[in-house]
Chain A
């Protein structure tokens, strides 16, 4: 390369850098603007929905947050607390049940060759093709037969049916990337199958477990349609269903609705923050194989 061409190359790369950053800034604004708007509506007093394009509130008050979190039942109990507990319990249990069943299933699918393996994997994949709403009526009838309508356990069961196949596929893809020799070495060293699974494979699959847990939790936490249909008593509502009461037929309490939306998104954000170290590795690992 001659010396004269160097500045040209440097200018070109500078232009590219500026262009890339400009694009990223634009994308960030596009992503953040609606979020800021929700924050603005949540913090601004009154239930109005003004057309001011500024994403910043003109005055700040926490009245909507107080209103949303201090709802009570007819008997005077703390309704919001009850609903928060419902959401946490349903999402947490769905994640726990999903992961517990999916890790062992995924390990079997990844490592063992047995009759029905291919069919099982295909069946698991098929369940992911249909949106949950398609199964709404059958699920309603099944839960009714089992007496689990309006019960948290019923909701956990319903969510697990979709989270287990998804988690199984995610984890199987990751288990496939863990070298078989590690397990063979452990077998020669004297480890039992369960020991190998719990002490060698699971610790190595931690990134995939983190991602899968996060997805399971988020899906259950955000789910609205199934919960709204299967739960009919305000004290068994999850938070997304509870928020619905601010959207009325003739009038919508936008301020309360926005405050509720902010509150609902906080736990998921916290989880993302806590698990972000694992997220990148886990997402790519799942993406490469499986």
Chain B
């Protein structure tokens, strides 16, 4: 197989149906060569099915898939020039690490000397040099993960597909492998499509994130765009940890522009939001991230601390404000001092909160 570098991947109105069950409902996604796109969403949102359609392991019910500009709907997986890493690694248990990595090359009738050279090269990249004669059963989880990646890169495909590759690793190893994956993408420059339910992986690895929910693409964009300007309530709640706080209320006006009027007399100026022709009194949801809430002795919202999650320098406090739980981030001395039952005041600063209409769609921002 020729060294083709990196290819684009385009999904054009792609659907997947299993009988009456509509799993993927028309996805349009344009992935440029060399991009690292992460498909993220809760279980059953259709992200893995989408990846498997790109791989050719599932038929496409409707729509078109192009890899490198070429329609591949009917192309068998082996001719799509892809490499895939599975959640379970799917290493061949009866073959050595070297045979696993070289398997695809052997099937393509590459001369044995070339296979050996390539396997050594890949093993060097992934730090597997000493393990080549071992079998998968003799390796640790992290090593198996590397072999699975080695098998995918040995053939120099122009697109890599990852299906939740880190979810079987323990937390520390996951952080390490995440960094290695990012480095691998930097070094190889190959297009990567990566599926995960972990929004931290999505935020740290992606050049662009595509959020899926119930088979529908919710928003596609760079991580910080999704974090700061979520398109709807689902994306707002899914991206960011801990989750964004939501408070139901109505549209009001504070003289200078639109404002949000919530329970217990909470009024937040929303001059950065374009309310358009929305009438005063229209139902809205205010979204504010835990780190945006200002915690102090004075503020419009007063509540009682119900839970404290201490992280060290910072802590997340769950504050019960008249029946609504808001999560706020505190740091430094306050993080060490805050305790259950404490009374805290919270304030929402101007210009940081998002507003969502009754349909869950975010209100646009005003250009300044």
Contacts and interface: CB of A to CB of B under 8 A. Distances in A.
B227 interface: no
B88 interface: yes
5 contacts: A184-B90, A185-B84, A185-B151, A188-B82, A191-B103
Contacts of B92: 182, 185-186, 200
B113 interface: no
A189 interface: yes
B107 A189 contact: yes
Interface in A123-171: none
B83 interface: yes
A189 B78 contact: yes
A190 interface: yes
Contact of A187 (B77, B88, B151, B155): B77
Closest 4 CB pairs of A and B: A181-B90, A190-B78, A189-B104, A185-B90
A187 B107 CA distance: 11
Interface string B24-62: 000000000000000000000000000000011100000
Given A188-B77, A188-B83, A179 B107 contact: no
Given A181-B90, A182-B90, A203-B94, A188 B107 contact: no
Interface in B72-125: 76-78, 82-84, 86-88, 90, 92-94, 103-104, 107-108
A185 B94 CA distance: 14
A186 B108 CA distance: 12
A129 B150 CA distance: 50
Interface in A189-204: 189-191, 195, 200, 203-204
B150 to A, nearest CB: 12
Contact of A204 (B57, B94, B151, B155): B94
Contact of A181 (B77, B86, B104, B107): B86
Interface of B: 55-57, 76-78, 82-84, 86-88, 90, 92-94, 103-104, 107-108, 151, 155
B94 A187 contact: no
Contacts, number: 53
B99 to A, nearest CB: 11
Given A184-B86, A190-B78, A195 B107 contact: yes
Given A181-B86, A186-B103, 7 more contacts: A184-B55, A185-B86, A187-B76, A188-B104, A189-B155, A191-B78, A203-B94
Contact of B88 (A181, A186, A195): A181
A2 B152 CA distance: 57
B84 A190 contact: no
Interface residues of A, number: 15
Contacts of A191: 78, 103, 107
A190 B108 contact: yes
Nearest to A187: B77
Given A179-B88, A181-B86, A181-B88, A188 B78 contact: yes
Contacts of B104: 188-190
Interface in A175-223: 179, 181-182, 184-191, 195, 200, 203-204
B169 to A, nearest CB: 17
Q: Which of B56, B90, B108 has the most CB of A within 10 A?
A: B90
A191 B77 CA distance: 10
Contacts of A182: 90, 92
B121 to A, nearest CB: 18
A204 B86 contact: no
A195 B107 CA distance: 10
A179 B92 CA distance: 10
B287 to A, nearest CB: 39
A181 B103 CA distance: 15
A189 B107 CA distance: 8
Q: Which of A181, A185, A187 has the most CB of B within 10 A?
A: A185
A179 B88 CA distance: 9
B55 A188 contact: yes
Contact of B103 (A179, A189, A204): A189
A186 B152 CA distance: 11
B48 to A, nearest CB: 12
Contact of B78 (A179, A187, A203, A204): A187
Nearest to A185: B90
Contacts of B77: 184, 187-188
Contacts of B151: 185, 189
B103 A187 contact: no
A281 to B, nearest CB: 13
A199 to B, nearest CB: 9
B246 to A, nearest CB: 38
A184 B83 CA distance: 11
A178 to B, nearest CB: 9
Nearest to B52: A184
A190 B157 CA distance: 12
